[in-house]
């Protein structure tokens, strides 16, 4: 006999919890149930380093007593525990203060159709198969250059899961998704020291995952080129962001466009809707329906339809990222951007958030720089979302007369995000999705670089 609960049972379980909450006096409620399984293999120096296998489940309940609300989550699905859990959640809601804006989305707003978005691949990998993929990736990294002498290891992960959302307005939706990833972190050394970098592939479909050989080779290319890095003198210069770090500029934009940051006064983009925040050639989309996308989902964390929307259109800020609550606070409708951790009230987040590629090849962008910085890594958290002030540790390459002259490290780049978006000078053609957020190579006219 198996204790695995079938899909039917989870929607029944969700309905059951809604009924129990109602019986305890809740005026509205929603339930989210998630379960999934993961197999993670890490190898190092050609042998298995760590093998992790797990199946887990979790259930989140949010209840409303009029305008008071609380959320809770548990991994214990036994009948007695759940009865106590519903009671405790209801008690918690009655301990907080009334919030006139709180509540579920109105009936009639919910997603009605659940198109197939190609986000679930039922392929089940065997443990040995994943070990083999990880070993091949690390081997490819070593084979690509003799200066790779050590490794932080290679990793192959597969996971799948499903999410069920139900609420007391009658919404019931569910979807399954999967993810396959492969990565390696080689270490290269020379007389002067060691450098490490990393490369990865990730996809919802196993068949589309990049080959171990391609990932290993790219990881080594990124690592060995950092050897011999040095500082540069403090100066102001143009800065070119490679696609990996350019994505972080979009990620800060998402944070600044979050309805929660905006209504709390904690964003540097307050009141900028409709304003020109970047040059005319900058257009940014958030697309929740992109087939196979890592941020794709048929409905958001409140059950509203996701969509493709322009966030920045020809440089003009055209949309915030809102859920029902933060939308109401700003006097606007939800943009279907509710994201949800199990047992938390909604927050907002991007789906597949990307900058439309430009027409200039990345090599041509580098060639356009006489003296400047090509950034490939950023570390640290020196970003003030309230003011947009930006200062982060950077490493990459110094550009001289359009060529990468030498690797640099232990420097910072600083500016203000508002000015940085306005200072975008060129966008590359090289848009590739490796996560929810994707950006081509981007050149900024000027930033302050602190070094020697």
Contact between 187 and 223 (Cβ < 8 Å): yes
CA distance 104 to 167: 8
- C-alpha span between 314 and 264 (Å, rounded): 28
| Residue ranges in 140-159 that form contacts with other proteins under rule CB under 8 A | 150, 152
Q: How far is the CB of 360 from other proteins (least distance, A)?
A: 27
Rounded-to-integer distance, Cα 409 and Cα 357, Å: 28
Q: How many helices (H) and strands (E) would you count in the chain?
A: 9, 20
Cβ proximity to other proteins, 89 vs 352, nearer residue? 89
Burial (CB < 10 A; 0-12, 13-18, 19+), residue 47, is: exposed
Rounded to a whole number of angstroms, the minimum distance from the CB of residue 106 to other proteins is 20
Binding to other proteins, residues 233-262 (CB under 8 A): 234-236
Which residue of 18, 33, 70, 253 would you call a contact of other proteins, by CB under 8 A? 70
Q: How far is the CB of 131 from other proteins (least distance, A)?
A: 10
Which residue in the set 228, 292, 382, 402 belongs to the binding site for other proteins (CB under 8 A)? 382
Of the listed pieces 17-25, 112-120, 160-168, 343-351, which binds other proteins according to CB under 8 A?
A: 343-351
Q: Which of 415, 426, 440, 444 binds other proteins (CB under 8 A)?
A: 415
Q: Which is nearer to other proteins, 236 or 371 (CB)?
A: 236
Interface segment toward other proteins; rule CB under 8 A; list 13-21, 24-32, 166-174, 229-237 = 229-237
The residue within the footprint of other proteins, chosen from 7, 9, 76, 190 (CB under 8 A), is: 76
Decide if residue 450 touches other proteins (CB under 8 A). yes
E strand spans, 288-345 = 308-313, 316-317, 338-339
> Could you give the string, one character per residue 299-338, with x where binding to other proteins holds by CB under 8 A and - elsewhere?
----------------------------------------
Is the distance from CB of 320 to CB of 262 less than 8 angstroms? yes
Near other proteins by CB under 8 A: residue from 33, 413, 439, 442: 413
SS3 328: helix
According to DSSP, residue 318 is labeled -
Apex CA 410: angle with CA 409 and CA 411, to 5°? 95
Residue 100, classified by CB atoms within 10 Å of its CB into exposed (0-12), middle (13-18) or buried (19+), is exposed
Nearest to 441 by CA among 375, 353, 372, 350: 375
**What residues does 65 pair with on adjacent strands?**
68
Query: Of the ranges 114-122, 165-173, 314-322, 391-399, which one interacts with other proteins (CB under 8 A)?
Result: 391-399
Nearer to other proteins, 263 or 374 (CB): 263
Where does this chain touch other proteins (CB under 8 A) — which range of 110-118, 201-209, 365-373, 413-421?
A: 413-421
Residues of span 84-143 touching other proteins by CB under 8 A: 85, 88-89, 91-93, 95-99, 102, 127
What are the residue ranges of helices labelled H in 198-309?
212-224, 243-257, 259-263
Binding segment for other proteins (CB under 8 A), chosen from 117-125, 188-196, 239-247, 273-281, is 188-196
CA–CA dist 186, 144 (Å, integer): 11
Binding positions for other proteins, 6-65, rule CB under 8 A: 44, 47-58
Find the shortest distance in angstroms from Cβ 250 to other proteins: 20
**The only residue of 379, 400, 403, 432 in contact with other proteins, by rule CB under 8 A:** 379
CB of 104 to other proteins, least distance (A): 15
- Token pair listed for 10: 């989870």
On whether the CB atoms of residues 256 and 387 are closer than 8 A, the answer is no
Q: In this complex, which beta carbon is closest to other proteins, that of residue 77 or of residue 299? A: 77
Three-class DSSP labels, 356-412: CCCCECHHHHHHCCCEEEEEEEEECCCECCCCCEEEEEEEEEEEECCEEEEEEEEEE
Q: Least distance (Å) from other proteins to the CB of residue 91?
A: 8
Per CB under 8 A, contacts with other proteins among 194-223 are 194-196
Stretch near other proteins under the rule CB under 8 A, chosen from 67-75, 112-120, 139-147, 297-305: 67-75
Closest CB to other proteins among residues 3, 79? 3
């Amino acid at each position: 006999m198996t204790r695995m609960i079938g899909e039917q049972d989870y929607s029944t379980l969700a309905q059951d919890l809604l009924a129990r909450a109602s019986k305890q006096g809740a005026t509205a409620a929603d339930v989210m149930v998630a379960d999934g399984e993961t197999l993670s293999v890490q190898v190092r120096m050609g042998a298995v380093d760590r093998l992790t296998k797990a199946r887990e489940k979790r259930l989140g309940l949010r209840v409303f007593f009029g305008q008071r609300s609380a959320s809770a989550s548990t991994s214990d699905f036994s009948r007695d525990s759940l009865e106590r859990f519903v009671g405790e959640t209801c008690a918690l809601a009655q301990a907080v203060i009334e919030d006139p804006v709180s509540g579920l989305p109105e009936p009639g707003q919910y997603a009605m159709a659940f198109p197939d978005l190609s986000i679930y691949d039922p392929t089940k990998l065997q443990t040995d198969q994943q070990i083999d993929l990880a070993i091949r990736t690390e081997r490819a990294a070593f084979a690509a250059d003799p200066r790779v002498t050590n490794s932080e290891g290679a990793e192959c992960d597969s996971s799948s899961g499903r999410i069920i959302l139900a609420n007391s307005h009658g919404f019931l939706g569910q979807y399954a998704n999967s993810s396959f990833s492969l990565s390696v972190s080689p270490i290269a050394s020379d007389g002067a020291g060691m450098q490490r970098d990393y490369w990865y592939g990730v996809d919802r479909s196993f068949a589309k995952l990049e080959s171990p050989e391609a990932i290993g080779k790219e990881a080594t290319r990124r690592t060995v080129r950092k050897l011999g890095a040095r500082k540069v003198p403090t100066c102001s210069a143009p800065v070119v962001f490679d696609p990996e770090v350019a994505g972080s500029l979009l990620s800060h934009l998402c944070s600044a466009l979050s309805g929660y940051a905006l209504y709390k006064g904690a964003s540097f983009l307050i009141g900028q809707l409709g304003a020109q925040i970047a040059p005319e050639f900058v257009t940014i989309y958030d697309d929740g329906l992109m087939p196979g996308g890592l941020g794709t989902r048929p409905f958001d964390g409140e059950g509203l339809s996701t969509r493709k929307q322009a966030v920045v259109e020809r440089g003009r800020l055209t949309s915030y990222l809102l859920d029902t609550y933060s939308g109401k606070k700003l006097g606007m409708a939800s943009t279907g951007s509710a994201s949800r951790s199990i047992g938390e009230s909604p927050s907002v987040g991007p789906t597949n958030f990307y900058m439309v590629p430009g027409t200039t090849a990345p090599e041509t962008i580098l060639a356009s720089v006489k003296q400047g910085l090509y950034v490939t890594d950023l570390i640290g958290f020196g970003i003030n979302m309230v003011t947009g002030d930006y200062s982060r540790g950077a490493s990459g390459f110094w550009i001289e007369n359009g060529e990468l002259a030498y690797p640099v490290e232990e420097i910072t780049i600083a500016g203000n995000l508002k000015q940085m978006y306005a200072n975008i000078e060129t966008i590359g053609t090289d848009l590739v999705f490796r996560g929810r957020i994707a950006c081509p190579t981007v050149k900024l006219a000027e930033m302050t670089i602190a070094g020697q």
